[in-house]
Amino acid sequence: MIRRLIILLLIVGCGIYEEENCAGASGGTGVLDDCGVCDGIDGYVAGSCYDCAGVANGTAIIDDCGVCNGENADKDCAGVCGGSTSVSECQACTDQGFTYDCEGTCNGIVEDDCTGECGGNAVLSGCDNECNSTTIVDCAGVCGGDATPDNCKDITDFEYFIQIEMEQQNIPAMSILIFEENIILYENYLGKSNLDQSATLASNDLFLIASLSKVVTATALLQLYEKGRFSLNDNINNYLPFEVNSPNYSTNITFQMLLTHTSGIADGSALDNQYYYGKDPDPSNTLSDFLENYLVDGGDYYNSSENFYNFEPGTEYEYSNEGNALIGLLVEEISGQNFNSYCKENIFNPMGMSNTFWRLDEIPQTQTIVTPYNYANGQYEAIEHYTFTDYPNGGLRSTVIDMFKLLSAFTQAGKFNNFELLTQNTIDSMITPQIPSLDNEVGLHLFLMDTENGLWGHDGGEQGVATIMAFNPTTKVGAIIFTNQGDAELDEILVETYKLGLTI
């Protein structure tokens, strides 16, 4: 009883001595505003009481012309603040097909400058095209970049090296990009996208990127893996509309085997007849139809000795284009979407890869596709733009800037453009040797391209194109190189490009 009485007295005491607010309410929240008015009482507005002229409780306001005059002056019909042009005068100007300039003159020529000042002389300038900008391109070719003179010397030496390589290897055009995480450190576009037209290569010109396409295809499959749609050691036949079995072996082919090129699926001569020049693949010969005819006994393109290696699946490593095409089909079957549509919805669009296409008929007619070339007997041979039925393994067209967006995600825990492409755990698996007893440079569809520099990536080669891209997961610096000459050797160029990135 005594303890309860003490507590009660304490509570009552606190109530008696609680501080009043400016409205006289005990424990209230009203406070004095800048003009000394208590805003805790209904009818008063919290905040400053000064008008735009600095008068306490004044009535001056900002008018439509941005002037504090308390008169709320408007622009006349000619757009002049406080102007006197009548409505009839404005109508007469309009009837003649004219408009008013910023000074209110009918059919006048005085305009606002980039700051909004009528008749001002501020202009869009600088490499960033901002108002009165003095920003310039540094020696690395980056607008507003901070490359130093020492960097510039490195760049000069590098560009001389590239010039020599292009001449010695007869490369008509080359796109180069170096990045660190989400920052482009250097980019350059050299040579001609079309020799006959003498067309200078531009940054948004599209290259066929050959087997770099496989990185996109594997990424699509691994996105579905992250959603729990399958396990890497699952039998792929549980997800296909037909069964794929290696002749003479009963071992099931798994997703892991496809991703590590140990499935035993080979690239037979039937593939030579699956190219379409100047057009997209025949819609009647779908990816699913072709692969069934190629991989299932009795199919139109089936040849057990050509289409499969003679080893038990999972026991040897042999690079497989058709194994990757099968990954594309598995994406279709598991997602329920056409492969092209899946990539657009889940990779290209959210990553901002607006210059990346699987199909020729989706490329804007105004966009340049770099012409592929073969070089033989001292002559360049132009190759008509082409596609192929098993397109997921090499049929993508893109730019180095778009592929930077993809590869950048691999250096940023799987994220780019506020979008999570893959998780860090999946990326770690892709750049971890998966079959060390067979080949310690093979991850999940990525390869250790250069051991000394720790570069993980992929290269590609097709008729008239050679490409390569890689990154170091520790330095987070990467390099991407596209060319339009099928016999170009890019390994040394990749290493030198990466080393330049470490100096910029």
Strand partners, 277: 386
Instruction: Assess whether 117 and 224 both reside in one domain.
Output: no
Q: Is the pLDDT assigned to residue 100 strictly greater than 70?
A: yes
Identify whether 400 is part of a domain: yes
- Please answer whether residues 28 and 36 qualify as being in contact, where contact means their C-beta atoms are separated by less than 8 angstroms: no
Instruction: Assess whether 124 and 170 both reside in one domain.
Output: no
- Percent pLDDT > 70 in the chain is 88
Identify whether 144 is part of a domain: no
Instruction: Assess whether 97 and 211 both reside in one domain.
Output: no
Identify whether 46 is part of a domain: no
Rounded Cα distance between 202 and 402, Å, is 14
- The two structure tokens encoding residue 184: 């482009």
Q: Is the pLDDT assigned to residue 269 strictly greater than 90?
A: yes
Identify whether 130 is part of a domain: yes
Average pLDDT, the chain: 89
Instruction: Assess whether 216 and 111 both reside in one domain.
Output: no
Instruction: Assess whether 244 and 99 both reside in one domain.
Output: no
pTM of the model: 0.73
Q: Is the pLDDT assigned to residue 45 strictly greater than 70?
A: no
- Strand, helix or coil at 188? strand
Q: Is the pLDDT assigned to residue 1 strictly greater than 50?
A: no
Contacts of 378 (CB under 8 A, 6+ apart): none
CATH number at residue 318: 3.40.710.10
Instruction: Assess whether 213 and 314 both reside in one domain.
Output: yes
Identify whether 300 is part of a domain: yes
Instruction: Assess whether 165 and 123 both reside in one domain.
Output: no
Instruction: Assess whether 130 and 183 both reside in one domain.
Output: no
| 45-49, 104-108, 314-318, 445-449: segment of lowest average pLDDT | 45-49
Range of the domain at 483: 159-503
pLDDT band at residue 36 using 50, 70 and 90 as cut-offs = low
Q: Is the pLDDT assigned to residue 250 strictly greater than 90?
A: yes
Q: What is the pLDDT of residue 58?
A: 74
* Of 59 and 234, more confident: 234
* Of 453 and 86, more confident: 453
Read off the pLDDT of residues 278-295 as tens digits, 9 standing for 90 and up: 999 999 899 999 999 999
Q: What is the pLDDT of residue 291?
A: 98
Instruction: Assess whether 346 and 493 both reside in one domain.
Output: yes
Rounded Cα distance between 73 and 369, Å, is 56
Read off the pLDDT of residues 201-212 as tens digits, 9 standing for 90 and up: 999 999 999 999
Identify whether 33 is part of a domain: no
Q: How many domains does the structure of the chain reveal? A: 2
Identify whether 65 is part of a domain: no
Instruction: Assess whether 178 and 249 both reside in one domain.
Output: yes
Q: Is the pLDDT assigned to residue 9 strictly greater than 50?
A: no
* Of 30 and 141, more confident: 141
Instruction: Assess whether 316 and 218 both reside in one domain.
Output: yes
Read off the pLDDT of residues 155-164 as tens digits, 9 standing for 90 and up: 999 999 999 9
What are the distances in angstroms from CA 40 to CA 23, 24, 60, 135?
A: 6, 9, 25, 52
Identify whether 220 is part of a domain: yes
- Residues 163-170, mean pLDDT to the nearest whole number: 98
Instruction: Assess whether 96 and 184 both reside in one domain.
Output: no
